[in-house]
A and B are shown apart, each in its own frame.
Chain A
Amino acid sequence: MKKTALLAVILTGALLILSMENFPSWGDVQSPASLHLSRHFIEKSYEQTLTPNLVTAVLGDYRGFDTMLETVVVFTAALACFLVIRLPRDVCTPGLFYYRHMGTGLVVRKHDACELPGENPTFERVDSDWPPHDVVVASTCRMVIPFIQLFGLYVVAHGHYSPGGGFQGGVIFAASYVLLAVSHDLRTLVHRLNERVTHLLSAAGVLLFFGVGLFGLAMGLNFLDYGALEGVLGMSLASGHSLGILLVEIGVGMTVTAALVIIFKLLSSRGTVTEGL
């Protein structure tokens, strides 16, 4: 079976390489790809969208619908994880729940109770497989995290001028939360960003993108036509497009951040979202 698979892979690869024989050479200025669409984008996009970064202009504006659906894909991924691996709240998984007695420091495993009711003064939840966290690591990360988040915001906002945008910025922002969980524990993260907040945030992000599209529809233009933002705050048509791109990038950033945090929380805690790592 393995040999057949290997053979199939080699055969497919060979066929794919063979079928590339008529491709234009790399970077050829006369190739169809550089003559047809790209030329239009290079010549017109700054004039039409006031966005120096052509990639952002194409992704955010000309092919904004694709980008909206890609954001929906990220949103879907988070929902899919939630639907498939989130354990119901009333399912108790023994072995996952450990408590430390505050007075003596002894760790006990309670068989019949997954969650101690309310704030318990004598017992504290601890992770089953995580050593007490290091003060140095925790404090360093605590200092670094705000700067990471600031950088994430910069990348989201600066997508018009440099490589960046909602997806990249969102990932950086989510990474700061992952760092928080890794350097402290998952409960610290859940305390800051609970499930409800992350899910609402992920839906709000796509809704912002969608809302910009609907605004176009409401102003009598086509769906996702940022030209509708012309005149808002006294803007010209091109800066309306620029504003539209910024708004949708913010929406993308929100969804990507929230979705990645949701997926991280679920995967690292075996679907319980209370502990892990």
Chain B
Amino acid sequence: MHDVVLTILPLLFGSFLAILAGWTRSALVYPLGAVALVMSTCFSVKLLLGVLSTGTATYLLGGWSPPWGIVFVIDAFSAGMLVLIAASALFTYLAFRTEILEGFAEKTAAFVSLLLLTVAGHMGIVATGDLFNLYVLIEVAALSGYALLGFGPGRAPLASLNYLCVGSVGASFYLLGVGYLYILTGTLNMADLAQIMAAAPVTASLHGAVAVILFGLWVKMALFPFHGWLPGAYAMSAPVSAALLAPLTTKVMVYVVIRLLIGVIPGAAMPEAVPDVAMLLGTAAIFAGSLMAFRQRDQRRMLAYILVAEVGYMIGGMFIGNRTAMTGAMLHIFADALMTLTLFLALGSIARQRGEMVLENMRGLFRTMPFTMSAFVLGAMSMIGVPPLFGFFSKWYLLSGAFESGQYLFMVGLLVSSLVNVVLFFRFFETAFFDEPGESVRDIEHWSRVTPLAVAAVLLIVAGLSSGLIVDRLIAGIIPASLI
């Protein structure tokens, strides 16, 4: 019964204890973080299994029933998201053990604490059923995220400051929209709000509220043209922070938009222009992200621009307005998170050995780091969309959904971005496979780094092969029957 809240509590508890431990017994800090993440992952899996067998779980925080108190509402889709977030954070945490222990010196406790807080924030965003609570959780997740990305060499603090400014604007717009909705309906609870809005007269104010909320969330998820913060923040920070946040932040925001679209905002309250604008921005994001990825020398920055294009996939998919495309967008959240995780974990290992992530430094990687590169290849193939990897299936749903609704420009965008990914990744593979490594190169692959990476890469295949099952059990039941 308490499984819902127990997914998040170990993380919060761990983050407070990590600070206490940091100033008294610093050797305990890292194991503490690991225990918290493992517990959180276990409870999430348990919750997922519970939700699959008994249906949606609701948890009343403080024992107050909605709409007076705050509730957590977990259905199969959000339970899947919780597992995804907790597990991917755990993988990152385990793979970057040495960086966390050595790279932050006396600040390890603060880093671990912030890491746990950001994971807790992201999981809370997925779990909550209250619009204002969602905002507070966005604050927790984002503020700790800014700090994690801001700790790094060179221009990392500046890039993070950029992110902070843009992110705060997005969050403010979201909050403003929630305020509008409260004035119009008098409630903050999502389920209650959905009922009241369905009966409320459709007015300009209601349209305004919905538009402001969506705008705020688009800024937070780095949809083109609000993506300016993303490449800098992820490419300049410490590799561990980027690997932690890249699979989470944008995907969780996409999740929030999907949640609002299918559960809260009735069709009439959505301003008519929004789906068209969203399709336009989504398609533009795909083209612009791919084009700009093409021009990057730094491989992490290239990957960050590919992420910008991926956001376009999901936004386009959810606003096309048919069941197949919505399924594709929801499946792509999982797929994109998993392949981003794989790629960033691999690049983190490579960056540790080779320093600057330009193409010339990547020579001979296949020979010196075969396992890391194999995982990287799997991640890249999934990003391109090669069957039977996970990325193929979500992209297939998106393509057929776009075809059903006649969104041909979006289809072209999907195909072009796949082609660009082919060129980008094979350029990397060519250098890494055929060129000889330099004389001075001494790459080391340690099992503690390779294992989480290998698990993530294998999961890409497993999840790809069972994507039919994922769609059936986690996604199909969530999409309302009215969406055809």
Contacts and interface: CB of A to CB of B under 8 A. Distances in A.
A62 B59 CA distance: 14
Interface in A31-47: 31-38, 40-41
A22 B206 CA distance: 8
A72 interface: yes
Contact of A63 (B17, B70, B151, B208): B70
Contacts of B209: 19
B143 A73 contact: yes
B19 interface: yes
B150 A77 contact: no
Interface string B119-136: 000001000000011001
Interface stretch (B39-47, B108-116, B411-419, B421-429): B108-116
Given A69-B136, A200-B19, A223 B13 contact: no
A82 B144 CA distance: 12
A22 B204 contact: yes
Contacts of B74: none
Contacts of A88: 105-106
B62 A225 contact: yes
B61 A64 contact: yes
A62 B64 contact: yes
A114 interface: no
Given A32-B196, A76-B117, A84-B151, A65 B212 contact: no
Contact of A38 (B113, B124, B186): B186
> In the complex, which range does the number of interface residues on chain A fall in?
35 or more
Interface in A168-219: 196, 199-200, 202-204, 206-207, 210, 214, 216-217
A256 interface: no
Contact of B16 (A37, A61, A206): A206
Which of B20, B63, B204 neighbours the largest number of chain A CB atoms within 10 Å of its CB?
B63
A227 interface: yes
Contacts of B206: 22
> In the complex, which range does the number of interface residues on chain B fall in?
35 or more
B69 interface: yes
A137 interface: no
A202 B104 CA distance: 21
A36 B63 contact: no
A200 B105 CA distance: 19
Interface string B263-305: 0000000000000000000000000000000000000000000
A80 B105 contact: no
A36 B184 CA distance: 11
B186 to A, nearest CB: 3
Contact of B61 (A16, A37, A203, A223): A223
Contact of B182 (A33, A82, A227): A33
A203 B19 contact: yes
A66 interface: yes
Which of A65, A89, A207, A222 neighbours the largest number of chain B CB atoms within 10 Å of its CB?
A65
A83 B111 CA distance: 7
A86 B107 contact: yes
Contacts of A16: 176, 208, 212
Which of B114, B186, B196, B209 neighbours the largest number of chain A CB atoms within 10 Å of its CB?
B186
B205 A200 contact: no
Contact of A66 (B60, B70, B183, B196): B70
A23 interface: yes
A70 interface: yes
A267 to B, nearest CB: 14
A254 B13 CA distance: 17
B206 to A, nearest CB: 7
Contacts of B183: 23-24, 31-33
B337 interface: no
A235 interface: no
Given A88-B105, A227-B63, A76 B147 contact: yes
A199 B107 CA distance: 12
A20 interface: yes
B147 A210 contact: no
Given A203-B16, A223-B9, A83 B151 contact: yes
A92 B236 CA distance: 25
Contacts of B148: 83
B16 A210 contact: yes
Contacts of A38: 186
Contacts of A19: 180, 204-205, 207-209, 211-212
A20 B179 CA distance: 11
Nearest to B104: A83
A96 to B, nearest CB: 19
A23 B184 contact: yes
A66 B207 CA distance: 27
Given A37-B67, A66-B133, A69-B140, A83 B59 contact: no
Given A32-B185, A38-B186, A223 B2 contact: yes
Nearest to B18: A203
A36 B185 contact: yes
A85 to B, nearest CB: 8
Interface in A65-102: 65-66, 69-70, 72-73, 75-77, 79-80, 82-84, 86, 88-89
B7 to A, nearest CB: 12
B62 A64 contact: yes
A203 B15 CA distance: 9
A252 to B, nearest CB: 14
Interface in B149-180: 150-151, 157, 160, 176, 180
A226 interface: yes
Contacts of B137: 69
Contact of A224 (B62, B67, B151, B186): B62
A134 interface: no
Contacts of B136: 66, 69-70, 73
Which of B17, B19, B133, B182 neighbours the largest number of chain A CB atoms within 10 Å of its CB?
B19
B12 interface: yes
Contacts of B203: 21-22
B187 interface: yes
15 contacts: A19-B212, A20-B205, A20-B208, A23-B205, A37-B186, A37-B188, A69-B140, A76-B143, A77-B143, A79-B110, A79-B117, A84-B151, A200-B23, A200-B24, A221-B63
Q: Which 7 A-B pairs have the closest CB atoms?
A: A19-B208, A80-B147, A36-B186, A32-B186, A225-B63, A22-B205, A22-B203
Interface of B: 2, 5, 9, 12-13, 16-17, 19-20, 22-24, 59-64, 67-70, 104-107, 110-111, 113-114, 117, 124, 132-133, 136-137, 139-140, 143-144, 146-148, 150-151, 157, 160, 176, 180, 182-188, 196, 203-209, 211-212
